[in-house]
Amino acid sequence: MKVAVIGAGTMGSGIAQLCASTGHVTSLVDTSEEQLGRAATAVTSSLDRFVAKDRMTREAADRALSRLESTTDLERAVSGAQVVVESVVEDLAVKQEVLRRTVAAAPAEALLGTNTSQLSITAIGSAVPDHAHRLVGLHFFNPPVLMRLVEIVQGLVSSEEYVQRAEDFSQGLGKETVICRKDSPGFLTSRISAIVRLECLRMLEEGVASAEDIDRALRLGLNFPMGPLELGDFNGLDTYLRILTSLEGTLGERFKPTVTLRNLVAAGRLGRKTGHGIYRYDEAGRRLDDGSA
Ligand SMILES: NC(=O)c1ccc[n+]([C@@H]2O[C@H](COP(=O)([O-])OP(=O)(O)OC[C@H]3O[C@@H](n4cnc5c(N)ncnc54)[C@H](O)[C@@H]3O)[C@@H](O)[C@H]2O)c1
């Protein structure tokens, strides 16, 4: 089956790797050649790590790479695709424009998935009223190749048939699924992770403890696999700020971003992808400090 993934950032590159690794001919699209280059490097080194850990053979990794192509030509990428996964920036207008272009060039029966973290599927789909029944939230987690869940979100007019196809597709990628039947802001997961991280940022701003101790407290005391602040860096603080700003608009004041978060993003400290967020990182993404700088 041919899959097109639109947006080659933190999430899109991983989703494309997952699709190619599970046998799909995959086209990865971005507006930026530079970003496509970074995505290719990220996919190659991730596959190399799978091989080094004996979780994949060299041949399987090479086959996955041979199934994956990168392009800036969205229309060519979605042409002939049975599934299109949009994973561009968390911005309603940008997602709607990508969707309009997608339906004009993709097969009329294609499943249209959006990896939005919290935007209304119904609102995104309103850009293409005649095709909105084919649009379903396909919410992956970072990193998509490792995280077990895909959260499927049914928009007001997403059809049962396409929700079922989204579930079958996700399970074919080796994922477990939950279905959010009501198109509610932040779905089942993002509203929780956003508010937990926000409370950590508030404690940081109040000087209650260091970033490292806040993360250690949640890891060791509350059994979080990763501290919320380091996870924020891992996922991208710019994406997190967009999510909070949007959730503040839909769910209210309790999601209001902190001043520190706004300043970090304004300063270009976006997390691992820029080498500095709440913590500092080396080229390989290893943490270098305790977050106090
Ligand atoms: N980062 C996470 O942990 C995470 C987890 C789940 C879902 N999401 C969601 O996934 C989506 C992508 O997030 P991300 O973290 O990968 O963001 P990102 O900023 O890392 O990547 C977004 C990419 O989209 C590209 N893009 C922008 N406009 C485009 C267009 N018109 N056509 C093609 N490409 C375009 C950008 O060049 C960029 O490479 C967002 O909706 C986000 O909310 C993110």
Both 23 and 164 in one domain: the answer is yes
Instruction: Tell me if 159 is assigned to some domain.
Output: yes
What does the pLDDT read at residue 293?
Answer: 73
Both 201 and 134 in one domain: the answer is no
Q: What confidence tens digit (pLDDT) does each residue in 137-195 have?
A: 999 999 999 999 999 999 999 999 999 999 999 999 999 999 999 999 999 999 999 99
Both 12 and 111 in one domain: the answer is yes
Share of the chain above pLDDT 70, in %: 100
CA 217 to ligand 1 center in whole angstroms: 30
Q: What is the mean pLDDT of residues 49-77?
A: 98
Does the Cβ of 94 fall within 6 Å of ligand 1?
yes
Choice among 12-16, 153-157, 250-254, 283-287 with the minimum mean pLDDT: 283-287
Both 159 and 208 in one domain: the answer is no
C-alpha count within 13 angstroms, C-beta hemisphere, residue 204: 27
Both 220 and 250 in one domain: the answer is yes
Answer yes or no: is pLDDT of 285 > 90: no
Instruction: Tell me if 284 is assigned to some domain.
Output: no
Tell whether the torsion through CA atoms of 66, 152, 233 and 52 is positive or negative.
negative
CA 16 to ligand 1 center in whole angstroms: 13
Both 259 and 165 in one domain: the answer is no
Does the Cβ of 151 fall within 6 Å of ligand 1?
no
Closest atom, ligand 1, to C-alpha of 242: 43
What does the pLDDT read at residue 283?
Answer: 87
Q: What confidence tens digit (pLDDT) does each residue in 179-236 have?
A: 999 999 999 999 999 999 999 999 999 999 999 999 999 999 999 999 999 999 999 9
Closest atom, ligand 1, to C-alpha of 12: 16
Closest atom, ligand 1, to C-alpha of 243: 43
**What CATH number does the domain containing 224 carry?**
1.10.1040.10
C-alpha count within 13 angstroms, C-beta hemisphere, residue 81: 29
Both 103 and 243 in one domain: the answer is no
What does the pLDDT read at residue 103?
Answer: 98
CA 74 to ligand 1 center in whole angstroms: 15
In sequence order, what are the residues at sequence separation of 6 or more whose Cβ sits closer than 8 angstroms to the Cβ of residue 5? 12, 15, 16, 19, 26, 27, 28, 29, 84, 85, 87
Answer yes or no: is pLDDT of 247 > 80: yes
Instruction: Tell me if 139 is assigned to some domain.
Output: yes
Range of the domain at 243: 190-274
C-alpha count within 13 angstroms, C-beta hemisphere, residue 14: 14
Instruction: Tell me if 286 is assigned to some domain.
Output: no
What does the pLDDT read at residue 195?
Answer: 97
User: In whole angstroms, what is the distance from residue 210 CA to residue 216 CA?
Assistant: 10
Does the Cβ of 14 fall within 6 Å of ligand 1?
no
7-34 burial, b at 16+ Cβ within 10 Å, e below that, comes to bbbbbbbbbbbbbbbbebbbbbbbeeee
Residue type, 221: G
CA 220 to ligand 1 center in whole angstroms: 31
Both 92 and 119 in one domain: the answer is yes
Both 91 and 168 in one domain: the answer is yes
Both 110 and 195 in one domain: the answer is no
C-alpha count within 13 angstroms, C-beta hemisphere, residue 212: 9
